[in-house]
A and B are shown apart, each in its own frame.
Chain A
Amino acid sequence: MASVNTPIKEIGETYLLPEGTTFHDITETVSRVTENPAPRGWWMLFLPSLALLGLMTACITYLLAFGIGVWGNNAPVYWAWDITNFVWWIGIGHAGTLISAILFLFRQNWRTSINRFAEAMTVFAVLCAAIFPALHTGRPWFDYYLFPIPNQMDLWPNFKSPLMWDVFAVNTYLTISVIFWLVGLIPDFATLRDRSRGLLRKRIYGFLALGWRGSHRTWQHYERAYLVFAAISTPLVLSVHSVVSFDFATSIMPGWHTTIFPPYFVAGAVFSGFALVLTLLLIVRSVFGFQNIVTIKHLDLMNKFMLATGTMVGYAYAMEFFIAWYSGNPYESWVFLHNRLGFGQLDSYGNWGPLYWAYWAMVSCNVLAPQLFWSKKLRTNIPVMFVVSIIINIGMWFERYVIIATSLNRDFLPSSWGDFTATPVDMGLYLGTFGLFFTLFLLFVRWIPMFAIAELKGVLPHAHPHLDDHGHDGAKAKGELAPAPAE
């Protein structure tokens, strides 16, 4: 006899993980990666990443020595790749928070196969993002002025500035994401500790496990803490990218000032975050052989998420366009129709907006490409989803670039028009942040359980206390007795 949680075949339900997966299988599969020597593939990725990290360091040193004039930023495009990259990296982080917090609150138990991974990416992506505005201040050694620290000069940050709000939003986000990630890791660190052979390894993982003993009481505290962090992180998913969008939307720049920006940026952030999680997950899955933990079903669900968020982003584009026309504001419609879409009149030099191709690249990548995922066949095809996920990442970078550059490069006054050209330092720094990201990411993959062992066990059918219930009379139990955190 089946319990109520047995998958119903008639409506297409299946078990999340392959049938017959045991607790031990999960522990083995995940822990093994941190215990065995690194495969050659890992080194092949790690060394180039280190090289890129070196490139980043070189670019930053050069920039500190000569000032931010080494970037291509100039009148009127004062914000260019730096802010584009900042928004892009911050956006990448959002999938992690969404998966770990919101999907947790919605009891989407398939998240257990991807949450750890995505949370780690959040932390690393925010670190990469923070580099850009910190450097863009011009004299980063005065960046502590951004914090409201009482000082003898009575000098305070401008609290009315969205850039100031960014400082608070991003720092809060980073703090909570790190804590949430580490709290989730405690039981898994304990697992690694208990499996350790060497003393040093045992000590390090023992330290990180904070004295975890796995008693019912510790589990109860742990789950409560996890829930509280999920609840605190949920508004952060919305707040961070909303505040980032305020950087633009509070201004009166045509193309920037529009009320849909906050939710539109959040949807776009989740969209791009999912895309990068998917890209990396597919690589890791095949390199380390995690096909039984990240199944096609998980990938299918992630692709559905990308289709949904991509469509939301498409909705926001459509609203922007419609209202740009509907508003009757000539500057607004000019930016959208001429400078972005490339329609309508030519400018006084007889040109289209120079970046209209970037706009179309963005629409093709972000709105059209994910439409492939309407087909289940394509949604479950690994090469297709790998390519689409990369296309989306490119498209989302273009989105931020289009927003920033096409509003700035054609100012109200044609006499102050000017175009942006990226310098080698711009490119080197952007590439270099990939070095930072992948270095941290590969270290994470190597030393930290990259799937939430305890949570994965919690979603196996035999973790459910009513697995063997033949009747349902006892089903209204007061609480779960599962040996793992609630699904």
Chain B
Amino acid sequence: MSAANSNNNYRLSEGSRWAGLWKVAAGLGVVGLGITAWAFLADPVHFGYSYLYGFFAILTFLFGALFLVIAEHLTAGHWGVTTRRLAEFILAGAPVLAVFGAIYLVLALTGKVHVYDEWMGGHHDDEAAHAVVEQGLFGASVAHASSGESHGAHGDLYPRGHSAQEAELHHHVLEHKAPYLNKSRFFIFGLVYLLIWVGLSFFYYRRSVKQDEDHDPSHTVKLRAFAPVAAILFGLSLTFAAFDWLMSLEPAWYSTIFGVVIFGGSAAAIFALLIVWGVSLHRSGEVGDAINVEHIHDLGKMMFGFFCFWTYVSFSQWMLIWYAGIPEEAVFFHKRWQGGWQTVSVMMILLHFALPFLLFISRIFKRNLVWARIMASVILFIHLVDVYWYVLPNGSPVVGHGMLFDVGALLMVGGFFFALVFKKMNDHALIPVGDPLLERSLHHHQSY
């Protein structure tokens, strides 16, 4: 136990290297900002993909943190109280994501983001939308989204059709979707999502740090009482954000499970992040024994459970689409099985499931802090690749094209986001010292 914590206030000690960490993150953010600005000028089409990648990849950490905090209040769990504060620090970073998200929405509204050109670029008349439903059973054919190699250039509304007929069908489907896939709805819904996330984040973060001061158990009661509503708001906003921002990159494609897949990846990622962070804090002696091997073991189990869950839902999505072989569904995986993306796809199977499954299944592995941190780092890495795999195949038909810009955008959003998150570590205790369940969490130990 470090000297700083002898009085059990769980504040960062004087001269702790954690205290200045936010400056490093901010520095990286500035570098990323430079690269992204360069991308904006040099390759305005790819810029949109890079920005979306950087933003969404970091957003998944906020998703994960919201899930963890809400779930803990929903289930009245006590084992994770000490590590919950780390997730609450993530929630405190929500304003940064709100700013980057709002910028993205404005860029999309003003035509500076070209990733949705297929449906944003043209004039989609809202009234013409119901054409397919109205024509009904006998008239319409199933649309095909062919696997064109190039992404949409300006002015070329439906560049994917190989033949005039396919282009016509594609056009037809997009016309049908216009009531949903249009600029104004995209913008308004986007703002609503951001408001929901910032609102939920602040509610859970603020009350928890307030409880540090007043030790009032009524905060816990209120946070728990709101948790079911929060869970529903969170689930719906995550799902539709995933539809709006990722699924619509391939506007003809659809998958009902898509929101659940994004959720599964986000949940695995937050537990991985908490393991890396928690072990590092434990090692640096800043939290004494408040985060110890028992907590890391449980976080490890949750991470294990959720990367398996991610595998389960991802497999379901892939297997059902592969088995049915319907063109407008299969286009998604087709695109991820060419131009070098095969390697990334296989890497996902190996690193997001097979290897961690074998190398993290044992209790011995989970209770070895060194090993736990290594495996969690692997999951964090592959999670960032996972989001990359969702966003980039449309922007880079050949894998690796424009990767510098993608990494730059990730650094930009991640840098500024974690700068705020780490800054908050200076302002509050590192564990929720006012939580009524704290004692139970401090003495948490498990027989299995």
Chain A interfacial positions (CB closer than 8 Å to B): 4-5, 8, 10-13, 105-107, 223, 227, 235, 238, 242, 246, 249-252, 257-263, 307-308, 311, 315-316, 319-320, 323, 325-331, 333-334, 337, 344-345, 374, 414, 466, 472, 475-477, 479-480, 486
Contact = CB atoms under 8 A, between A and B. Distances in A.
Given A259-B317, A345-B136, A223 B256 contact: no
Contacts of B436: 8, 10-11
A345 B29 CA distance: 55
Contact of A323 (B256, B308, B316): B256
A10 B256 contact: no
A71 B328 CA distance: 38
Interface string B123-159: 0000000001111110110110000000000000000
Contacts of A251: 324
A334 B134 CA distance: 10
A343 B440 CA distance: 54
A476 B290 CA distance: 12
Interface stretch (B89-97, B104-112, B217-225, B383-391): B217-225
B402 interface: no
A330 B255 contact: no
Given A5-B440, A252-B324, A263-B260, A311 B232 contact: yes
A319 B317 contact: no
B371 interface: no
A263 B316 contact: yes
B445 A263 contact: no
A380 to B, nearest CB: 16
Chain A to chain B: the 6 pairs with minimum beta-carbon distance, closest first? A260-B256, A10-B217, A259-B257, A328-B173, A475-B443, A328-B176
Given A4-B443, A11-B220, A315-B235, A323 B312 contact: no
Interface in B331-375: none
A396 B446 CA distance: 38
B367 to A, nearest CB: 13
B447 interface: yes
Contacts of B257: 259-260, 262-263, 319
Nearest to B317: A259
A474 to B, nearest CB: 10
Contacts of A246: 319-320
B423 interface: no
A262 B312 contact: yes
A477 B444 CA distance: 10
B143 A328 contact: yes
B259 interface: yes
A5 B256 CA distance: 43
Interface of B is mostly: helix
Contacts of A12: 221
21 contacts: A4-B439, A10-B218, A11-B436, A12-B221, A242-B312, A250-B320, A259-B258, A262-B257, A262-B312, A262-B313, A319-B257, A320-B256, A323-B255, A329-B142, A330-B140, A345-B134, A345-B136, A472-B439, A472-B443, A477-B445, A486-B447
Contact of A334 (B137, B143, B258): B137
Nearest to A374: B228
B177 interface: yes
A257 B317 CA distance: 11
B320 A326 contact: no
B326 interface: yes
B177 A259 contact: no
Nearest to B258: A259
Nearest to B289: A476
Contacts of B221: 10-12
Chain B interface size band reads 35 or more
Contacts of B232: 311
Contacts of B75: 106
Given A5-B440, A319-B256, A486-B447, A259 B321 contact: yes
Nearest to B175: A328
Contacts of B255: 259, 323
B326 A344 contact: no
Contacts of A319: 239, 256-257, 259
B129 to A, nearest CB: 10
Contact of B133 (A5, A106, A337): A337
A10 to B, nearest CB: 4
B178 to A, nearest CB: 10
Given A251-B324, A329-B143, 16 more contacts: A10-B217, A11-B220, A11-B436, A107-B79, A227-B448, A252-B326, A259-B321, A263-B313, A326-B254, A328-B176, A330-B132, A330-B137, A330-B139, A331-B142, A345-B134, A345-B136
Contacts of B180: 326
B324 A250 contact: yes
A11 B434 CA distance: 13
Contacts of B137: 330-331, 334, 414
Given A328-B143, A330-B137, A259 B320 contact: yes
B437 A8 contact: yes
A281 B408 CA distance: 58
Contacts of B79: 107
A328 B132 contact: yes
A328 B246 CA distance: 18
A320 B75 CA distance: 28
A333 B177 CA distance: 13
Contacts of B173: 328
Interface string B55-97: 0000000000000000000011001000000000000000000
Nearest to A304: B228
B325 to A, nearest CB: 8
Contacts of A223: 447-448
Contacts of A316: 256
A39 B93 CA distance: 63
